[in-house]
Amino acid sequence: MKQYDIGIDLGTSSIIIATEQQGVIFRQPSVGAVDTRSNTVIAVGEDALRMVGRAPRYIDIIRPLRDGVIQDHRMTNELIVRFINQVCPSRLIRPRVAVCVPAAITGIEADAVVESVMAAGAKQVYLVDEPVAAALGAGLDIRTPKGCMVIDIGGGSTDIAVISMGGRVRAASLPVAGNAFDNCIAQYVQEKFSIAIGPLTAEALKKQVACCFQSEFEGVMEVRGHSWETNLPARRLIYTRDLYEPVRELAARIAAAAHNVLQSTPPELAADVGKNGILLTGGGSMLRGLAGYLAGELHVDVAIAPDPLNCVARGTAASLSLGKYLTAGFRDATPKVWKSRLMGPRDPFHAWGFVVY
């Protein structure tokens, strides 16, 4: 029977599904909306994201993954099941699924993810470490005894790893990534200009205006928000120089963590990293000037991988065929009870979209 393999990047900002042959086939924000009156999920992904900051009180907008950990198990389960059912609608071909989970996930959370994937109809499920998936997706050959260093800067966490022979040799994870930049920018604008702005506006400021170097770029954007002084709607122009301080503060925390990892890396591998440089993946790495700033702080070349947003998903899909070469950071997590069943479960309620939250 035809085999169908998919890789899922269970990210704080987005859930991305890829196959080794087709690349990315599905991407949706990791957001869901719950009607608290009936306790039902009324929207997920893009539809739920459009409601952020605009929904009536009885609708809860939930981001189930935060700061690199699973904060809402039921919504995470909901998103996994619905999204897998969208890409694999056939009941006959049951996919092998590799899932890249946040680095700081606990064993119990990982088990819950595995259960959700199995409930969505998977035949087998594998768990992959984020830095390993990022390196594979960036096209690095991590099977050789040669050190490479990857920094994956996502929405909720930054994962730093030195990898050799298919496994992590040194690694660190910190909850400073895209969302932390957004929060810091929003807080700074509020304190400095007395305007409260929403998370989507803060993210737009980060993407369009912010830069880690004051003199490298000069952008401007008009923001609209709520004035603390007049209690009325207000607008104001924000320039790159206005955001330099909060952006630089967080970039320095990432640089310090990478510095610690490099410091504890065995000399031979550190020499490899010095020669080959560091590769950045994840959407957060696209912050203007960040690669240059890290290169300056760490005295090593730093490059952004091609298509950084999709590296982890592509690498996760690729891990299914490379699994036997990966010494660590890739494991078969299929529960034994499922392995012994010829036909696995497919929760009929989930399969038909009748979901009680």
The torsion defined by the Cα of 335, 341, 342 and 347, in degrees rounded to 10, comes to -80
Q: Which of 73, 74, 146, 207 binds ligand ATP (CB under 6 A)?
A: 207
Q: Please give the residue whose beta carbon sits closest to ligand ATP in the complex.
A: 178
In angstroms, the Cα distances linking 142 to 5, 27, 72, 168, 236 are 21, 26, 33, 10, 48
Q: Please give the residue whose beta carbon sits closest to Mg ion in the complex.
A: 154
Question: Least CB distance from residue 351 to ligand ATP, whole Å?
Answer: 26
Q: The tokens 């091609």 sit on which residue?
A: 306
Question: Least CB distance from residue 114 to ligand ATP, whole Å?
Answer: 18
Residue 104, SS3? coil
Question: Least CB distance from residue 255 to Mg ion, whole Å?
Answer: 19
H or E element, residue 278: strand 278-281
For position 309 contacting ligand ATP by CB under 6 A, the verdict is: yes
For position 200 contacting ligand ATP by CB under 6 A, the verdict is: no
Contact region with ligand ATP (CB under 6 A), list: 141-149, 235-243, 268-276, 284-292: 284-292
Pairing of the two strands 5-10 and 96-100: parallel
Give the total of residues touching ligand ATP (CB under 6 A).
Answer: 23
As a whole number of angstroms, the distance between CA 176 and CA 81 comes to 28
Question: x/- contact string, 260-279, with ligand ATP (CB under 6 A)?
Answer: --------------------
Between 311 and 326, name the residue whose CB sits nearer to Mg ion: 311
DSSP letter string over 215-255?
A: TT---EEEEEEEETTTSSEEEEEEEHHHHHHHHHHHHHHHH
Q: Which of 13, 76, 116, 319 binds ligand ATP (CB under 6 A)?
A: 13
Q: The tokens 């991988």 sit on which residue?
A: 305
Question: x/- contact string, 41-80, with ligand ATP (CB under 6 A)?
Answer: ---------------------------x------------
For position 329 contacting ligand ATP by CB under 6 A, the verdict is: no
As a whole number of angstroms, the distance between CA 11 and CA 130 comes to 10
Is residue 242 within 8 Å of residue 192, measured between CB atoms?
yes
Q: Which of 137, 154, 225, 315 binds ligand ATP (CB under 6 A)?
A: 154
Is residue 116 within 8 Å of residue 99, measured between CB atoms?
no
For position 253 contacting ligand ATP by CB under 6 A, the verdict is: no
Binding residues (CB under 5 A) for Mg ion: these are 11, 154, 312
Q: Which of 105, 177, 298, 317 binds ligand ATP (CB under 6 A)?
A: 177
Rounded to 5°, the CA angle 323-13-123 comes to 35
Partner whose binding site includes residue 68, from Mg ion, ligand ATP, none (CB under 5 to 8 Å by kind):
ligand ATP
Instruction: Catalog residues that contact ligand ATP under the rule CB under 6 A.
Output: 9, 11-14, 68, 102, 154-157, 177-179, 203, 206-207, 282-284, 286-287, 309
